[in-house]
Amino acid sequence: MRLYNTLTKKTEEFIPNNKNEITMYTCGPTVYHYAHIGNLRSYIFEDILEKLLNYIGYPVKRAMNITDVGHLSSDSDSGEDKMLKGAKRENKSVLEIAEFYTNEFFKNLDDLNIKKPEIISKATDNIDEYIKMIEVLLEKDYAYIANGNVYFDIHKLKDYYQLTNHKIDEMVVGVREGVEEDSNKRSQADFVLWFTKSKFDDQELKWPSPWGLGYPGWHIECSAISIKYLGEYLDIHCGGVDNIFPHHTNEIAQSEAYLGHKWCNFWCHGEHLNDKTGKMSKSKGEFLTLDVLKEKGYDPMIYRLFCLNSHYRKTLLFSYEIMDDVKKTYEKIKRKIHQINNNKTGNIRKEEIKNYQIRFKEQLENDLNTANALTVLYEVIKTEELNNLEKITLIEEFDQILSLNLVEKEKKDIDLEMKQYIENMILKRSQAKQDKNYELADQIRNELLEKNITLIDTKDSTKYEIE
Ligand code: AMP
Ligand code: ZN
């Protein structure tokens, strides 16, 4: 498999540390608001990557954080705490906000058929890990204390900017929402590992630490969670392009300084989704969520297909016109697949389907070319070379990665079987009642109840309801 690696700026053959377990870390959401559909584009790309790795035979161990503390308005540790901002906005506690938006985020993942990472860890559940890591960084002299805060000294590293290729002085710290100078830092490019003093003293969540009551910086969360769950050598780390600097740059700095060796070989970044006004961002106030799309009549699968139509490393412009085109395409292919599925005939000829399997895989293995992989899917639907059984077999296989709900579950057959079973049970029960064997009659009712089937006795017959 070939993947573009932000670290080397090349598309390279992916070689894992251990073929029997690929370790993958993907930065999770800051749960102070709903995810916007731009955020969700990044999670779709990561989902495709994980599923492709599985498809080509690699077991993946993947971890993701939920940021519920430490992420300030600017990614470079200045400005107001995002969680606090959310809590104030809604007049709730930080933890209430975190719980609510974490659940909303999970609903989005479910709606979009995005597989949840095997390990999901809240930032607030790993405070001891951050403290341990910061203590080591202080011992090794990579970190320093100034006015109550602990900072990472980026000048202690030769290649702090290895991910971005920037020279130290060229880089402005920070960048998303304005920069504020922090006079405690030795250099403005240094970043915070632990805060005990911030301009915003009403920080709700604080923990005791060797440096006083405080809270962790945002960047340390991902390094510590990744090392805790995935070990000292990480295969792939992903995120959106805005994470490259400063977040991932800082993750590399503190992880490698702590571990004393190279940490992660492959860094993959998804480009942004923009709207007509520019980058989609929550700080702008209004932003598009998946629920808004649903309310407007777009199945989440249409948004997933909208994303898969373009390459993850290209900026994608959102528009309802394109969504409408995608909707038409999606409905058309679903109709065709439905017809194919209802007329399955023939035998599977392995050699015939192999050609399509290879081509589909080749496209995805070429730096996740989902658009070309979709073209192979459309060819399968159209071709006269394959019979319907072969087509459905391929479509189901491709959908393990695409996850577009292409083939409806075989409701018809299941329903028929279920219907016969229930009717049979109803017959047995009425016989039991006639025989005054009420124990058996109750037993039958309970057996059905366990399967969420409720019997309703009317004057002349018994009806049923399935939950
Ligand atoms: P956040 O919740 O802001 O920490 O972001 C969650 C994920 O979404 C990160 O991987 C970001 O890099 C990514 N992201 C943020 N904005 C966009 C966007 N407009 N398009 C695509 N991904 C984004
Ligand atoms: Zn992260």
> What is residue 165's predicted lDDT score, i.e. its pLDDT?
74
Q: CB 378: neighbour CB atoms within 10 A?
A: 13
**pLDDT reading at 441 higher than 80:** yes
Ligand 1 pocket by Cβ (under 6 Å): 27, 29-30, 38-39, 41-42, 239-240, 242-243, 270, 272-273, 279-280
> What is residue 177's predicted lDDT score, i.e. its pLDDT?
39
Q: Between 455 and 2, whose confidence is greater?
A: 2
Question: What angle is formed at CA 52 by the lines to CA 49 and CA 55, rounded to 5 degrees?
Answer: 155
Continuous segment of H or E residues that includes residue 120: strand 119-122
Closest ligand (CA of 219): 2
Q: Say which residue the tokens 């199945």 belong to.
A: 299
Share of the chain above pLDDT 90, in %: 71
Burial category of 354 from C-beta neighbours within 10 Å (exposed 0-12, middle 13-18, buried 19 and up): exposed
Task: Identify the band that residue 203 occupies on the pLDDT scale cut at 50, 70 and 90.
Answer: confident
CA distances from 87 to 29, 72, 83, 116, 288 (A): 16, 14, 6, 26, 20
> What is residue 178's predicted lDDT score, i.e. its pLDDT?
40
**What residue spans of 154-277 are helical by DSSP H?**
218-230, 249-259
Average pLDDT over residues 81-109: 91
CB-CB contact of 315 with 271 (8 Å): yes
* Max Cα-Cα span within the chain: 92
Per-residue pLDDT tens digits for 342-354: 999 889 999 999 9
Task: Identify the band that residue 167 occupies on the pLDDT scale cut at 50, 70 and 90.
Answer: low
Average pLDDT over residues 405-426: 79
Among 161, 125, 332, residue whose Cα is nearest residue 248:
161
**pLDDT reading at 71 higher than 80:** no
Residue nearest to atom 6 of ligand 1 (CA): 29
CA distances from 27 to 90, 117, 274, 307 (A): 25, 11, 20, 19
Average pLDDT over residues 305-326: 97
Contacts of 179 (CB under 8 A, 6+ apart): 74, 76, 78, 172, 173
> What is residue 174's predicted lDDT score, i.e. its pLDDT?
43
Average pLDDT over residues 198-227: 88
Ligand 1: which of 44, 238, 242, 274 to mutate, most ligand atoms within 8 Å of CB? 242
Q: Which of 151-155, 240-244, 432-436 has the lowest mean pLDDT?
A: 432-436
> What is residue 367's predicted lDDT score, i.e. its pLDDT?
98
Average pLDDT over residues 121-146: 97
Q: Say which residue the tokens 């990561």 belong to.
A: 46
- Ligand 1 centre and the CA of 187: distance in Å? 27
> What is residue 77's predicted lDDT score, i.e. its pLDDT?
67
Domains of the chain with bracketed CATH: 2-270 (3.40.50.620), 289-402 (no CATH), 416-466 (no CATH)
> What is residue 85's predicted lDDT score, i.e. its pLDDT?
84
> What is residue 332's predicted lDDT score, i.e. its pLDDT?
97
**pLDDT reading at 255 higher than 70:** yes
CB-CB contact of 29 with 290 (8 Å): no
**pLDDT reading at 176 higher than 50:** no
Structure tokens, 308? 């898969």
- Ligand 2 centre and the CA of 401: distance in Å? 24
Closest ligand (CA of 218): 2
Task: Identify the band that residue 281 occupies on the pLDDT scale cut at 50, 70 and 90.
Answer: confident
Mean of per-residue pLDDT scores for the chain: 91
Atom of ligand 1 nearest to the CA of 71: 4
**pLDDT reading at 423 higher than 90:** no
**pLDDT reading at 414 higher than 60:** no
CA 49 from centre of chain = 11
**pLDDT reading at 412 higher than 90:** no
Average pLDDT over residues 17-43: 96
Closest ligand (CA of 237): 2
What is the rounded distance in angstroms from the CA atom of residue 15 to the CA atom of residue 32? 37
Task: Identify the band that residue 170 occupies on the pLDDT scale cut at 50, 70 and 90.
Answer: low
Residues whose Cβ atom is located within 5 A of ion ligand 2: 27, 222
Per-residue pLDDT tens digits for 342-396: 999 889 999 999 999 999 999 999 999 999 999 999 999 999 999 999 999 999 9
